[in-house]
Amino acid sequence: MQDSACAAQAGHIPVLLDRVLSLLAPAVESAPAGRDPLYVDATLGMGGHAEAMLQAHPRLRLIGLDRDPSAIERAGRRLARFADRVRLVHAVYDELPRVLAELGEPHAEAILFDLGVSSPQLDEAERGFAYSYDAPLDMRMDPTQPLTAADVVNGYPPEELARILREYGEERHARRIAAAIERERRRAPLRSTGRLAELVRQAIPAPARRSGGNPAKRTFQALRIEVNGELAIWERALPAALQALPVGGRVAVLSYHSLEDRITKRVLTACSTDTTPPGLPVSLPEHRPTFRLLTRGAETPGEEEITANPRAASARLRAAERIGEPVAAPAGPGGRA
């Protein structure tokens, strides 16, 4: 499609771009007469998805959120020609309800979350996200926040470090790595990504180093998630976003590891399931689903896209459409619900 070509020429290939456009288009096109539809890109990044949506829908308005000020600046330049339809806000994606309220928007027809670390954050060595560069242990998506990866590595108790590595990195050797970090930081604080990556490599048994890519990958993922509070924020953000959609509104979510995708699946499945107790002859209004799933399970990129954009390989796409408003519970004694 032309949108994909334009994005590629801009030096950035948004993940599953054409599929995201096709999933969100019906919501944008069904906006009521007299209202220019609103699209929220809750993780703006480089602005590739936002640019394609604005190109595809001439009446579309955009609210773009990102916790990284440099992303806001970069996307602002990319989207400059749409300036009269664009509002960019430095905010974390669980702040979406507050942003909509402050901008006087009752709802958004379409919302996209493209989770995880962005390409610039990985490519800018000084950000400390990548184990392939030697850089300060930072990993903050928002450089104005206080907590860094160095704070976690040097300040957390070994038991807490092991828990983070096990839960957020799904690291089988979490205890060994945490113990190695504890021994090392007794001698001197750990400050660099290169030293941490080497320490992890040494802590992992030799047979485990020979498969599965860089042995530091899971440790770096776990630290990044902890530093940025990604899973806790996502637990809050997705339900809040669903509340911001009108009937016919749609949400699309791109996640890049199983923990994010697990939360997405759980939330979307819950709101798209009829919970009427078994045995009743009809579905009870307050138990009917308020959303319907638009994807069968999680969709993944094809081989051609992965070849063109290797960072898309782990992407998982899920989407849903609001089909009804929640029904308030009946009032109990004294008029209380």
Residue 256 is assigned to a ligand binding site: no
Backbone angles phi, psi at 205, to 5 degrees: -55, 145
Q: How far apart are CA 203 and CA 212, in angstroms?
A: 16
Residue 93 is assigned to a ligand binding site: yes
Crossing angle for the helix pair 217-228 and 230-243, to the nearest 10 degrees: 60
Residue 84 is assigned to a ligand binding site: no
Residue 9 is assigned to a ligand binding site: no
**Which element (helix H / strand E) includes 186?**
helix 174-187
**278-285 contacts: CB < 8 A, separation 24 or more?**
285/327
Judge contact between 154 and 227, C-beta under 8 A: no
Residue 18 is assigned to a ligand binding site: no
How many C-alpha atoms does 199 have within 13 Å on its Cβ side?
Answer: 22
Residue 66 is assigned to a ligand binding site: yes
Q: How far apart are CA 285 and CA 248, in angstroms?
A: 18
Crossing angle for the helix pair 217-228 and 193-203, to the nearest 10 degrees: 130
Judge contact between 242 and 267, C-beta under 8 A: yes
Residue 189 one-letter amino acid:
P
Q: How far apart are CA 17 and CA 22, in angstroms?
A: 9
Q: Residue 70, by phi and psi: left (phi above 0), alpha (psi -120 to 50) or beta? A: alpha
Residue 7 one-letter amino acid:
A
Residue 121 is assigned to a ligand binding site: yes
* Binding site per annotation, positions: 47-49, 66, 93, 114, 121
* Binding site per annotation, positions for S-adenosyl-L-methionine: 47-49, 66, 93, 114, 121
